[in-house]
Structure 1
Amino acid sequence: MRVFTHNVIEVTNETRYYISSLNETAQEIAERIRGYWGVENKVHYVRDVTQAEDASRIRTTPLPQIFTLSRNFSLNLYRDNMFKNMAQAQRLCSFGLDTLKRLFRMK
């Protein structure tokens, strides 16, 4: 884990212990755990932080489901256009309709 404090990087190591009834090697279990965190970091974190989904005050059905669809659609659209940084893609696309037309290939 890297901790940033006043432009100084402090590197620390953490040990995690897992108890499992799975009939897998330690390497296979480690890959499962990394896979889980890959999804968490790629999708859930972006939706929670970049798109502020948890802060949304939309509660009336079916609006939460519609907004979830639109957030997922925008993430897929950004990734399809080779964006690596979703916050940067969101800022770029919020600049205007012309940017969105280019992403949708509607020049």
Structure 2
Amino acid sequence: MIEVTNETRYYISSLSETAQSFAERIRGYWGVENKVHYVRDVTQGEDKSRIRTTPLTQSFALARNFSLNLYRDNMFENMAQAQRLCSFGLDILKRIFRMK
């Protein structure tokens, strides 16, 4: 059974905008966090990576973002499922991402 919770957060700001637009800004931030950072950290194991050499960290981050964009461009909604499917080999990748 799924437990539903409700949290209240309080923010202090000097911005001169409505509460509605401020709330939309905050939700937008968490949308990016959930859509990109969480997937890179959990699904792609970025936090577990032992790569620490400067040019390699940026290269692997670029590759992770590129793969996420490919998955989303090909209408995958579940990134873990897309990653599992695409890890089966080059033939599956060719079928999924056939050149147009």
Interval of TM-score (by shorter of Structure 1 and Structure 2): over 0.9
Question: Which residue pairs with 2:5 in the alignment?
Answer: 12
Q: Which moved more, 1:41-50 or 1:93-102?
A: 93-102
Q: How many residues align?
A: 99
Unaligned runs of 5+ in 1: 1-7
- 1:4-61 Cα distance to aligned partner (Å, 9 max, x none): xxxx233222111110001011101110010000000000000000000011001123
* Corresponding position: 1:33 with 2:26: yes
- Assess if the C-alpha contact under 8 Å between 1:77 and 1:103 holds in 2: no
Task: Tell me the distance in 2 between the aligned counterparts of 1:11 and 1:63.
Answer: 41
User: Letter of the aligned partner of 1:89 in structure 2?
Assistant: A
The structure with the greater share of residues assigned to helix is: 2
Identity across the alignment (%):
87
The structure with the greater share of residues assigned to strand is: 1
- The normalised TM-score by structure 1 is 0.87
Structure 1 residue runs of 4 or more that deviate by more than 3 Å after TM superposition: none
